[in-house]
């Protein structure tokens, strides 16, 4: 997990104790994609901040397995398991791949957090409304 986190996020990689926290906190949804005994992707959703909103807090796929639908599948299953009517996330303004993924998955940009990242880059906040998802 820590290796994959570094591969996916480089400068934004979380320390291992934060990873353990996000993966083991009971209120979170965390999923991994595995191929040939190797973790090739992961997603985590945070349910604790607001009753009607879930936050996708991390999503990454190993470089060798990208553009094969792994992230889309993880995201969709995570959304379903979170069972919240509104799902939010934030992404670096220049992260074209992730922005394309979220747009294709039905997310819309709602706001900008100026200079959110440690190097001063803005975060774009996206949300998706999932009607009736709490019931399936």
Distances (CA, A) of 94 to 37, 45, 80, 99, 100: 32, 22, 28, 8, 11
- 4 vs 47 by CB, closer to ligand COA: 4
Helix (DSSP H) and strand (DSSP E) numbers for the chain: 4, 6
Instruction: Residue 125: name the closest of 91, 76, 80 by CA.
Output: 91
- 83 vs 98 by CB, closer to ligand COA: 98
| Size, binding site for ligand COA by CB under 6 A | 20
Query: Quick check: 4 binds ligand COA (CB under 6 A)?
Result: no
- 87 vs 91 by CB, closer to ligand COA: 91
**Nearest approach, Cβ of residue 79 and ligand COA (Å):** 13
d(CA 79, CA 82) in angstroms, rounded, equals 5
**Nearest approach, Cβ of residue 71 and ligand COA (Å):** 3
d(CA 87, CA 7) in angstroms, rounded, equals 25
Identify residues 57-116 at the interface with ligand COA (CB under 6 A): 59-61, 66-72, 91, 95-98, 100-101, 104
Binding site for ligand COA (CB under 6 A): 8-9, 59-61, 66-72, 91, 95-98, 100-101, 104
């Amino acid at each position: 997990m820590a290796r994959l986190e570094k591969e996916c996020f480089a400068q934004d990689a979380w320390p291992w104790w934060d990873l353990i926290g996000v993966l083991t906190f009971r209120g979170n949804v965390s999923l991994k994609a595995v191929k040939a005994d190797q973790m090739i992707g992961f997603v985590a959703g945070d349910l604790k901040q607001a009753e009607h909103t879930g936050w996708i807090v991390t999503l990454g796929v190993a470089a060798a397995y990208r553009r094969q639908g792994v992230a889309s599948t993880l995201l969709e299953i995570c959304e379903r398991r979170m069972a919240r009517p509104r799902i939010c996330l934030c992404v670096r303004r220049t992260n074209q791949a992730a922005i394309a993924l979220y747009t294709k998955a039905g997310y819309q940009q709602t706001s900008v957090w100026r200079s959110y990242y440690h190097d001063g880059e803005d975060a774009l906040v996206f949300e998706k409304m999932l009607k009736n998802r709490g019931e399936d």
